[in-house]
Amino acid sequence: MSRHRSAGPAATPHVLDGLDPAWSRLIEVPDAYEERRESNTWHVLDSLGRLEELGAQPVGTILCVHGNPTWSYLWRRLVAASTEQARAGGAAWRVVAVDQLGMGFSQHDSGSDPLRTLEDRVADLGRLTDALGLTGRVVTLGHDWGGVVSLGWALDHPDLLAGVAVLNTAVHQPETDPIPAPLRLTLQGPVLGPATQATRAFLETTLSLADPPLRPEVREGFRAPYRSADRRRGIRGFVADIPVEETHPSRTELDRIAEGLRDLAAPALALWGPRDPIFSDRYLDDLADRLPQLDVHRFEGAGHMIAEEVDYASAVLTWLGDLEEAHGPEARPTAEPAVAEPAAWTTPPLWHHLESQRASRTTALVEMAPPVGTGPRTVSWRALARRVDEIGAGLLALGVRPGDRISLLVPPGADLTAILYACLRVGAVAVVADAGLGVRGLTRAVRGARPTLVIGAVPGLSAARALGWPGERIAVAPLPRALARTLGARRSLRDVTALGAQRLAGRTLAELAPTPGPRDTAAVLFTSGSTGPAKGVVYTHGQLAAVRDALAATYGIGPDSGLVAGFAPFALLGPALGARSVTPDMDVTSPGTLTARATAAAVDAVGAATMFLSPAAIAGVVATADALTPAERDALTRVGTFLSAGAPVPLDLLTAAEALMPNAEAHTPYGMTEGLLLTDVSADEIRAVAHAADSGVCVGRPIAPVSLRLSPLDEQGRATGALVGDPGVTGEIVVAAPHLKDRYDKLWLTERASRRTTGEPAPEGLRWHRTGDVGHLDDGGRVWIEGRLAHVIVTADGVLTPVGPESAVAGSPLVARAAVVGIGPVGTQQVVAVVETVPGARRPGLAPEGVADDVRARCPVPLAAVLVVRELPTDVRHNSKIDRGMLSGWAAGVLAGGRVTAP
């Protein structure tokens, strides 16, 4: 019998958007406080009834726990999705989504009842699952403070536990870090009651965090149990129970859960919204530290209301499906935290040449435009080795440890090279995201990587300060005191080297820091973002060393070679190859700024025999060739090999570059951030097969360590076929090699998709990687790129890849560049050509009749329309990859009668 009057359960929901009334159940459960009442009435959503109607036997239970101020309505999509999966013959997971006591439609306490603490809530949940009679395998899923409660239950029920999953949550609040500002404000005494109970402010503020905004019907669904102040008492109590101080009644239980996770062996998943103003990425990093087996996927753009913003339900069911596949339907999978066995180096580490030549006074690298603006700066191997030692020792003095991440926002040159090798040598993880990603791209990269330190020049540090990037900031060059204070840079690189020199005291870095192993993480390199948000690509030390070996073997680059690198990754690999390397005087964020004279000066500075430039950089060199002096032209004749990659290189551009470098063999290797060198082809071979160019762009044959296959496209343009190596089959290009990436950083779904293949297994010790590029092999084993998988067009007549038609259209004398895109539903898409004209169009829109007629006559497929633009949109990093996705949306809007603006 209750000794205090309570609000009791409200009427269970019946007509709410997305909620099946048949899911709702009320259950009587004994109360933790006998003096309070004998039992509580819990409201849960339970899919068991629907599964029984389908005749589906559950393989396990997903126990879902909401946070504050939501309720079980948060999990309606998972209940529906799991039921539909069972209906379709898939694994039948029972979903039980609870309303915590005092919340939703469960029993509400009276105003005189004691505060329900975290320990109470974990115990309450245990009593509920006892009452439900849960047996078999249980996977917990929690959000917000429901994440902590669910993890507490998981620790207390190891005999039932099959896995744990969370959406944005936290299990530990460091004493040194302030709690999130929104919670600080709400917890203030005068604010707590009015904000959480007397008004709907806390509830409405939480719902407003969703992006895109919640539909009105969904908002009403979340509001349904909380229409009166009495019904919002639990919201207030939940906020008051946040253990901010060490003396808080719930602190002990929070600490128990946080520390207990370190011994939890079950598989674990975190689906994260990085824009959450409350549970930020620092809490994700803490979870990953406590759960080494944690699979993480950050949904770029999502925030606190992640369950309403992304398809989390499919992600959870996919993860569970993988567990089923790995362990079988009867097993209760466990995942002991992975402890990598020490691996021996089978090839010299990346800093081998730096160590072997540390006494040499010969040139290691030349910086053509150093920050001080004093002209070319030459650095010997001896000086470079000493600087790497000093920076590395300085980082150790600052407390950097193996695995710590350091974001490098430094322009390519001597400083960046020394910092990078210092990071690698002490086992820190270098995070490299160049300025070409733009401010938004850099922000995503740095926040996602969560570095301990950010070392940058003024532009990078300014962005870090303005946009709140994490990590202690170090200026690459000494700054005026006021500017340093404004940027939050308490130290400069000079300070770090001074600390390092003191710590070295005549020793080498090798004597202070253990040598990282080949399996240890070395770097996170961010993709250009030209086909979606930039992704962090993780490389181990062994994989980076394999990149070096592939370059050396394919192009003969090594000690005594001279390398001109207008592309940052290859500039940084110069010392690893033992080559004299130089970065030309150019704006690396805009490759087209490279001039012929700057290129000749770079060649002359190191006696370069090999040159690597992007297509945009080559175009800049060719365009400014008239300014070359006789001596500069002579310097270019000493180049023996020049390479260009990052995007298809037109043959006429290669030919023009060959005229400037008559003794050089032109090559256009194919690769990407995930695999910097996969195939190679010479300009002569491209000319030899030019007659077949209407089927794509020839990128040559796979280099020696690369295995390459195709996953054929189905009738919907999806790469679903088993891997083949047959000529003439169009499919997604799939590769395996020792120098491919290790994984994507905190992108479990993306990584999973990149690995999933059927048919032929990868060579021993390697994994397949889906490149996202579509193409085919010819009878000579050459690879032809036909476009991106995401840009495949599916018409009523079949599947169409874009590069062939684009090449045909670009053959018009009236067309400078062309893109071919599809608009409309897949299966009935219409084909549209979007072109830059010669001369350029004055305004975007429908093409003039003459241009349209010529383009239609050349295009091998019927066109629904021909549109013109002043300039085709390209990614900011390469200035050459056309953004077909953007063009497709723009073309659809134009042809639907929308306002015509530039894409």
More confident residue, 880 or 794: 794
| pLDDT for the residue numbered 755 | 94
pLDDT of 634 over the 60 cut: yes
Q: Find the mean pLDDT for residues 110-130.
A: 89
Instruction: Please give the distance of CA 133 from its chain centroid, rounded to a whole number.
Output: 41
Return the number of other C-beta atoms located less than 10 Å from residue 492's C-beta.
17
Sort 53 into a burial class: Cβ within 10 Å, 0-12 / 13-18 / 19+.
exposed
More confident residue, 6 or 24: 24
Tokens of residue 275, six digits: 């824009």
| pLDDT for the residue numbered 325 | 86
Cβ within 8 Å of residue 299, ≥6 positions away? 271, 272, 273, 274, 306, 309, 310
Sort 147 into a burial class: Cβ within 10 Å, 0-12 / 13-18 / 19+.
buried
Confidence of residue 362 (pLDDT cuts 50, 70, 90): very high
Would you say 420 and 408 are in contact if contact means Cβ atoms under 8 Å apart?
Answer: yes
| pLDDT for the residue numbered 333 | 58
Q: pLDDT tens digits, residue range 580-608?
A: 999 888 876 677 788 999 999 999 999 88
Lowest mean pLDDT among 223-227, 370-374, 795-799, 848-852: 370-374
Strands 707-712, 793-795: pairing is unpaired
| pLDDT for the residue numbered 690 | 83
Instruction: Please give the distance of CA 516 from its chain centroid, rounded to a whole number.
Output: 25
Q: pLDDT tens digits, residue range 162-206?
A: 999 999 999 987 666 666 656 555 555 666 667 788 899 999 999
- How far apart are the C-alpha atoms of 700 and 708, rounded to whole Å? 12
Among 332-346, 435-449, 510-524, the range with the most confident prediction by mean pLDDT is 510-524
Across the chain, what does the average pLDDT equal? 89
Q: pLDDT tens digits, residue range 691-722?
A: 776 778 899 999 999 999 999 999 999 999 99
| pLDDT for the residue numbered 337 | 45
More confident residue, 335 or 201: 201
- CA angle at 166 for the pair 165 and 167, rounded to the nearest 5°: 140
Sort 339 into a burial class: Cβ within 10 Å, 0-12 / 13-18 / 19+.
exposed
Residue closest to 69 by CA, chosen among 212, 281, 278: 278
Instruction: Please give the distance of CA 783 from its chain centroid, rounded to a whole number.
Output: 27
Q: pLDDT tens digits, residue range 310-325?
A: 999 999 999 999 998 8
Q: Find the mean pLDDT for residues 363-369.
A: 90
pLDDT of 567 over the 60 cut: yes
Residue closest to 680 by CA, chosen among 649, 719, 655: 649
Based on its alpha-carbon atoms, the radius of gyration of the chain, rounded to whole angstroms, reads 30
The CB-side HSE value for 404 (13 A sphere, CA atoms) comes to 20
Q: Which helix (H) or strand (E) holds 821?
A: strand 815-823
Tokens of residue 209, six digits: 């965090």
Return the number of other C-beta atoms located less than 10 Å from residue 192's C-beta.
17
Would you say 75 and 307 are in contact if contact means Cβ atoms under 8 Å apart?
Answer: yes
Lowest mean pLDDT among 39-53, 196-210, 439-453: 439-453
The sheet with strand 830-837 has its strands ordered as 815-823, 830-837, 865-869, 845-846
Give the amino acid at 5: R
Q: Find the mean pLDDT for residues 377-390.
A: 96
Exposure class string for 870-879: b at 16+ Cβ within 10 A, else e: eebbbbbbbb
- DSSP codes, 285-309: HHHHHH-TTEEEEE-TT--TTHHHH
| pLDDT for the residue numbered 322 | 94
Q: pLDDT tens digits, residue range 206-262?
A: 999 999 999 999 999 999 999 999 999 999 888 888 887 778 889 999 999 999 999
Residue closest to 282 by CA, chosen among 7, 469, 549, 529: 469
Confidence of residue 28 (pLDDT cuts 50, 70, 90): very high
- CA angle at 702 for the pair 699 and 705, rounded to the nearest 5°: 150
- How far apart are the C-alpha atoms of 233 and 236, rounded to whole Å? 5
- CA angle at 543 for the pair 541 and 546, rounded to the nearest 5°: 115
| pLDDT for the residue numbered 624 | 95
Q: pLDDT tens digits, residue range 636-663?
A: 999 999 998 877 778 888 999 999 999 9
pLDDT above 70 coverage of the chain, percent: 91
Return the number of other C-beta atoms located less than 10 Å from residue 761's C-beta.
11
Q: Which helix (H) or strand (E) holds 319?
A: helix 312-327
pLDDT of 335 over the 70 cut: no
Q: What domains appear along the chain, each with residue ranges and CATH number?
A: 21-327 (3.40.50.1820), 355-543 (3.40.50.12780), 697-788 (2.30.38.10), 792-895 (3.30.300.30)
Lowest mean pLDDT among 184-198, 264-278, 337-351, 835-849: 184-198
Confidence of residue 400 (pLDDT cuts 50, 70, 90): very high
Q: Find the mean pLDDT for residues 86-99.
A: 97
pLDDT above 90 coverage of the chain, percent: 70
